Homo-oligomer: A and B are copies of this chain.
Amino acid sequence: MPAPPTTGTPEPPRRTRRGDERDAQIRAHATALFLERGYNGVSIDDILREVGGSKTNVYSFYGGKDGLFLAVMEATIKELVQPMLQVRVTGLPLEMGLLTFAETLLSVLLQQRHLAFQRLVIAEALRHPQIGSSWYANGPAATHAILERFLREQQALGRVRPQIDPAATAVLFHDMVIFDLLNRAMMAIDGGPTQADIAATIRRAVEITTMAIGTPAQ
């Protein structure tokens, strides 16, 4: 009788309650440190020094530093995306919808946690392409879809000209709102954009978009 097939990665041992608690601490600390100092700026010993526990935890469950990194990055994607999935624009007038969308988006993307995350994704995109794909699919692409649905709805109500492509317009509006502010925040130009910068950018993006796609009557 043949032995059961050997799995490529050996099964991690099942955990005790203590193990679960340690693991949660390790993940939380690892996330904070990676975001703060980057992948190479953090050693496994750094993580464990403050948390306690031992390398056994990391190596038997994640296989190594890379495994731990991937796990915490995936979790951070889910966490960051959360507020965007809860934005409610259905039923609002065109301008109000765009405004609400833009404000929610920027409140997520300009927070320090996201800026650090973005840096990390980009820095490691070559070594870990799956993180980049996962982020694009769950972040920007998901956000595009939400706005596209709203624009389509507005179009059905006759508030957006029929010849407009909702998908393409969603991307353009999204980019107008985000890019320069994000760029400046990432490069820490003059300490990043102010609340006034943010408000002005949103106002202008909404203005230019409604002028271009809204039906004249509106």
A187/B135 in contact, CB under 8 A: yes
Closest residue of chain B to A171 (Cβ to Cβ) is: B180
A172 partner, pick from B133, B171, B176, beta carbons under 8 A: B176
A122 partner, pick from B119, B172, B201, beta carbons under 8 A: B119
Secondary structure at chain A's binding surface: helix, strand, loop or mixed?
helix
User: What separation, in Å, do the CA atoms of A165 and B207 have in the docked complex?
Assistant: 12
Closest residue of chain B to A178 (Cβ to Cβ) is: B179
**Residue A70, interface by CB 8 Å:** no
Instruction: Quickly give the copy total for this chain.
Output: 2
Q: Report the contact-size class of chain A (Cβ under 8 Å from the partner).
A: 35 or more
**Residue A96, interface by CB 8 Å:** no
Q: CB within 8 Å of B: which residues of A?
A: 38, 40, 118-119, 121-123, 125-126, 129, 132-133, 135-136, 140, 165, 168-169, 171-172, 174-176, 178-180, 183-184, 186-189, 200-201, 204-205, 207-209, 211-213
